[in-house]
Amino acid sequence: MLSGQEEKRLKEERLDQIEIMENIVDTMKAEKRGIKANEQRSLNSAKERITEIDSILEGAEIRGGIEKMIMTKDVHNPEVEQRKADDQAFLTLVKEARATGGMTAGSNGVVIPLSIAQRIVETAKNVSPIVAKATIWNVSGDLSLPSYDYTQNVFQYVTEGTAVTDSNGAFAGKTLANFIIGSLTKISNSLINRSDIDVVPVIIRQIGLSLALFLEGELINETGAKLKGLKSGVTVTATSTNATTAVIDAKTVTDLIGLQMKVPQIHQANCAWLMSPQVWTAIRSLTGASGNLLIHGDDTGIGADGGLVLFGKPVMLSDAMPTTLALNARGIYYGDFSGLDIKLTTGIQVKVLLERYAAEYQTGITAFQELDSVVGDPSKFAVLIGK
């Protein structure tokens, strides 16, 4: 690695070589002539020296970067170390070792560290695009969401010295309370005892998948009549032309365009479609009289990131959505899904049940989550419904 003095000397020499080249060019311009042989040699020599200096400086920079990487390689990362410690403690616990790894023992199990619980929620987000796009509030207790009708707050021209007319907008709000959901997972001790399998990610993924499946179903269909989601929260509708027959044909394309335009332009930037895989397949397979696809082009099909796209907007698929556009079916949603608010307490309460399933040669793992949901901003959504 170059010393500061050596680096300074090389940079000054580089400037000198550039000055030599500039002087030659200036002389040629002033005398309005071509380059002489000796000037050409000086010019070539200056270029070669600049290239050499650049190579030396670049090499020193690369070596310096590598040295920094080596120096920082052994620097401790508390977050990574804590995650490893939590994983090891969790694994020790589910393998029924004597030590609890510093975890807090309860009356019928042990409370799992927050890092494990957070990764369960992250898994749910990764699996469910609806949950990933929703606005998540990590708070305890009731949460009031303020909302304001921006269309009532009007700008207007005013004359200097004249009072501006007030607008009639008012704040409204929706409150998110607490509902408790829970699951019980039983893991085979044969799996836990295998040394060639890291069982912690398996457990996290299984609980995360269950959470994603539950949340997605409730946010779309509100089956349990507690969490509020798209079914009751989206009130702006477009009508499906073939609702009585549930046929998806060329008229459906017109319906989709009408649905997309139901959402105000101010919300269009982050909008996406939501439908079932069956409906998406039928729409993408539509062909005209000539046999060509009705919906095609760069803005429809598979996007640059590998995701599905329709009219330039991402397509999210969910098995919880209706499989046809039948009468009264809320078949396709379109909107900015950040308008869907989900309140989750700061962490899932996960416990390992040490003895309860010992006779079955299994280990029980329970997970409880306090949550609530609501469509906080209905103006961000529209739904295609058969009427």
Q: Is the pLDDT of residue 298 over 90?
A: no
Specify the CATH number of the domain 76-149+171-387: 3.90.1690
For the stretch 50-97, pLDDT in tens is: 888 888 877 766 566 555 555 444 455 666 666 666 666 666 656 554
Map the chain to HEC letters. Answer: CCCHHHHHHHHHHHHHHHHHHHHHHHHHHHHCCCCCHHHHHHHHHHHHHHHHHHHHHHHHHHHHHHHHHHHHHCCCCHHHHHHHHHHHHHHHHHCCCCCCCCCEEECCEEECCHHHHHHHHHHHHHHCHHHHHCEEEECCCCEEEEEECHHHCCCCCCCCCCCCCCCCCCEEEEEECCEEEEEEEEEEHHHHCCCCCCHHHHHHHHHHHHHHHHHHHHHHHCCCCCCCCHHHHCCCEEECCCCCCCCCCHHHHHHHHHHHCCCCHHHHHHCEEEECHHHHHHHHCCECCCCCECCCCCCCEECCCCCEEECCEEEEECCCCCCCCCECCEEEEEECHHHEEEEECCCCEEEEECCCCHHHCEEEEEEEEEEEEEECCHHHEEEEEEC
Of 57-71, 146-160, 320-334, give the range with the top mean pLDDT: 320-334
The per-residue pLDDT for range 187-232, each reduced to its tens digit, is 888 887 776 667 788 888 888 888 899 999 999 999 887 999 999 9
Tell me the pTM.
Answer: 0.68
Ordered by start, the domain boundaries in the chain are: 4-73, 76-149+171-387
* Chain segment 244-261, per-residue pLDDT in tens: 566 788 888 889 999 999
pLDDT at 29 over 50: yes
